[in-house]
Amino acid sequence: MLNIAVCGSGRGSNFKSVLDAIASGRLRYCRIVIVFSNNADAGIFEHARRQGIPVLHWSRKMYATDDAYSAAMLAALREARADLIVLAGYMKFLPAPIIAAFKHRILNIHPALLPSFGGTGMYGLHVHRAVLAAHEPLTGATVHIVDEEYDHGPIVIQRTVPVLASDSPESLAARVLEMEHYILPEAIRLIAEGRITVEPGRTHVHIRSSQE
């Protein structure tokens, strides 16, 4: 069984896609053991509470020091026996001690084709506005392993989505979000099946076929 911790800051639709994939049996041998948010009112907490999943409001402001902040999350992760952390719309940077403790065991979903349209300021509709301003014919969604750099780290799954001449940032965001909801559970499935290896210096993880 793969024990998954999820971090999110907002509405939680990507988290919901993972819950649905578990409920439908598409994602097997996985369970969500805890949900963290820096925002006490986050929609992601509602989805978790409805299923009786423990939640933790965890933000830097609640702790006196950086060390106390990291230690609180690490203790909660340990108590929940988390194997994997999934950042599903998490708007903050995870502290370095957590990235180190969960090396290659943290996933992030980003609404563009990384390494393009990622990094500081590239979140929410800003991403889709930038894609439209650059007249890109294609955009997409990326799930990658988190490393110490923002929106960086080896790509697990990346899928393209067409940009239409009639698109607004909102319509493009909605089309990309549908793809996000497909690839996030897929990436978790690859990890649950033990099919991913991270090789140093590579931009993408190595994925073994299910027959290997």
Is there binding between residue 110 and ligand GRF (CB under 6 A)? yes
Residue (59 or 193) nearer to ligand GRF, CB = 59
Residue (13 or 71) nearer to ligand GRF, CB = 13
Place of tokens 């999934």: 86
Catalytic annotation present for 110: yes
Is there binding between residue 151 and ligand GRF (CB under 6 A)? no
Interaction mask 71-90, ligand GRF, x per CB under 6 A: -----------------xx-
Contacts of 49 (CB under 8 A, 6+ apart): 55
Stretch binding ligand GRF (CB under 6 A), from 25-33, 57-65, 106-114, 203-211: 106-114
Residue nearest to ligand GRF (CB): 89
The tokens for 165 are 């001449």
CA dist 68 and 49 (Å) reads 26
CA dist 51 and 49 (Å) reads 5
CA dist 86 and 107 (Å) reads 5
- When binding is defined by CB under 6 A, the residue of 4, 6, 7, 12 that contacts ligand GRF is 12
C-beta atoms surrounding 85 within 10 Å: 25
